């Protein structure tokens, strides 16, 4: 297939995913009016959860169709873009603070959302083509994507999200918090290329969203209040909410895997 056709398919998929994300956001009605900042801070949590699952399901299918003609990373970018469109419609951390939200619910939501993203990642990678720029190991195969070693390294390098967000997200504006998550995702992807050069990044797309729970725990320890928010002393780790973490990190990892391809090639072992 011609390159321009692949690009056109990707653009169309992104446009459709943006529409799906925007429509899905309408079911996240908040108790104070507007759209709730999280699933658990909506008027009807069941409707909100179904809407998020619906957005992810449709975006996963779009991502798979895109991955069939491009790459699995591009397919995951489509998924992240749907969440990005949804996140841009919802309220931010200010609504969470002034609605007396608790971080325990954020941690639960982050972990649950990461599980759903993992299912989408498995779906896209399983039924499309693996990334061709992931070199084979000395045995002539890829490392197991869900071995204890892979899971451990993935979680460790995903912690790189937190310092990136701490440094970059100096204000709670939507663009800045999602942008910081994108940059964090790029950093995580580059680290994955160096530390796990022979592993298909199936788990990598979901791990940073789960790691958000660690950031929320740190922010809770440092203190959360409306006074801290108004005085700009609130920890930046709380600024991206779970959907924003997910949207930014997925798009960032998709970009970073492309940028960091040469890092994997440098550590490819020689086969006699």
Determine, yes or no, domain membership for 18. yes
Torsion from C-alpha of 11, 12, 18, 23, nearest 10 degrees:
180
How crowded is residue 142: how many other Cβ atoms within 10 Å of its Cβ? Answer: 17
CA distance 31 to 199: 44
Q: What's the predicted TM-score (pTM) here?
A: 0.92
How crowded is residue 87: how many other Cβ atoms within 10 Å of its Cβ? Answer: 25
For the segment 204-227, the average pLDDT, to the nearest whole number, is: 92
**Average pLDDT of the chain, as a whole number:** 91
- pLDDT class for 264, splitting at 50, 70, 90? low
- pLDDT class for 260, splitting at 50, 70, 90? confident
Number of H helices, E strands in the chain: 12, 0
Q: Is 111 exposed, middle or buried (0-12, 13-18, 19+ CB in 10 A)?
A: middle
Question: Domain range spanning residue 19?
Answer: 3-266
- Indicate the angle between helix axes 174-195 and 242-259, nearest 10 degrees: 50
Q: Between the ranges 81-95, 128-142, 225-239, 248-262, where is the mean pLDDT highest?
A: 81-95
- Looking at per-residue pLDDT, the higher value among 259 and 72 belongs to 72
User: Which is nearest to 161 in space by CA: 76, 89, 60, 250?
Assistant: 250
User: Which is nearest to 88 in space by CA: 214, 251, 267?
Assistant: 251
Determine, yes or no, domain membership for 79. yes
Determine, yes or no, domain membership for 272. no
Residue 75 contacts residue 55 (beta carbons within 8 Å): no
How many domains does the chain contain in total? 1
- pLDDT class for 272, splitting at 50, 70, 90? very low
> Rounded to whole angstroms, what are the CA distances from 64 to 31, 60, 134, 172, 204?
36, 6, 19, 33, 17
**81 pLDDT above the threshold of 70:** yes
Determine, yes or no, domain membership for 180. yes
For the segment 197-211, the average pLDDT, to the nearest whole number, is: 96
* 9-67 pLDDT per residue, tens: 999 999 999 999 999 999 998 877 778 889 988 989 999 999 999 999 999 999 999 99
- pLDDT class for 267, splitting at 50, 70, 90? very low
**154 pLDDT above the threshold of 80:** yes
Residue 162 contacts residue 214 (beta carbons within 8 Å): yes
Q: Between the ranges 41-50, 151-160, 223-232, where is the mean pLDDT highest?
A: 151-160
**269 pLDDT above the threshold of 70:** no
Predicted pLDDT at 34: 79
Residue 243 contacts residue 90 (beta carbons within 8 Å): yes
**1 pLDDT above the threshold of 80:** no
Residue 199, φ and ψ in degrees, nearest 5: -120, 130
User: Which is nearest to 90 in space by CA: 46, 44, 48?
Assistant: 48
Determine, yes or no, domain membership for 75. yes
Predicted pLDDT at 262: 67
> Rounded to whole angstroms, what are the CA distances from 251 to 42, 72, 229, 241?
26, 12, 28, 16
Determine, yes or no, domain membership for 205. yes
For the segment 230-248, the average pLDDT, to the nearest whole number, is: 92
Predicted pLDDT at 225: 80
**89 pLDDT above the threshold of 70:** yes
How crowded is residue 6: how many other Cβ atoms within 10 Å of its Cβ? Answer: 15
Determine, yes or no, domain membership for 271. no
Task: Extract the tokens encoding 150.
Answer: 């892979």
CA distance 198 to 264: 8
Residue 146, φ and ψ in degrees, nearest 5: -125, 25
């Amino acid at each position: 297939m011609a390159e321009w056709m692949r690009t056109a398919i990707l653009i169309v998929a992104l446009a459709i995913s943006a529409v799906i994300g925007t429509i899905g956001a309408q079911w996240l009605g908040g108790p104070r009016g507007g759209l709730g900042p999280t699933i658990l801070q909506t008027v009807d949590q069941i409707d909100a959860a179904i809407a998020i699952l619906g957005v992810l399901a449709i975006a996963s299918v779009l991502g798979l169709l895109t991955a069939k003609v491009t790459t699995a990373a591009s397919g995951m970018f489509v998924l992240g873009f749907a969440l990005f469109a949804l996140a841009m419609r919802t309220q931010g951390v200010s609504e969470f603070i002034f609605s007396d939200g608790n971080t325990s619910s954020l941690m639960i939501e982050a972990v649950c959302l990461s599980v759903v993203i993992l299912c989408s990642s498995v779906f896209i990678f399983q039924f499309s083509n693996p990334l061709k720029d992931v070199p084979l190991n000395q045995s002539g195969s890829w490392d197991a994507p869900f071995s204890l070693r892979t899971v451990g390294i993935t979680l460790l390098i995903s912690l790189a999200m937190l310092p990136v967000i701490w440094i970059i997200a100096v204000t709670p504006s939507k663009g800045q918090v999602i942008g910081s998550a994108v940059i964090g995702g790029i950093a995580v992807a580059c680290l994955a290329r160096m530390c796990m050069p022979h592993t298909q990044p199936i788990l990598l797309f979901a791990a940073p969203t789960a790691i958000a729970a660690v950031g929320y725990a740190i922010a809770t320890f440092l203190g959360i209040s409306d006074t801290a928010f108004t005085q700009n002393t609130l920890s930046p780790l709380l600024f991206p909410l779970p959907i924003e973490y997910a949207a930014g990190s997925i798009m960032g990892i998709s970009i970073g895997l492309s940028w960091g391809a040469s890092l994997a090639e440098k550590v490819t072992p020689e086969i006699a």
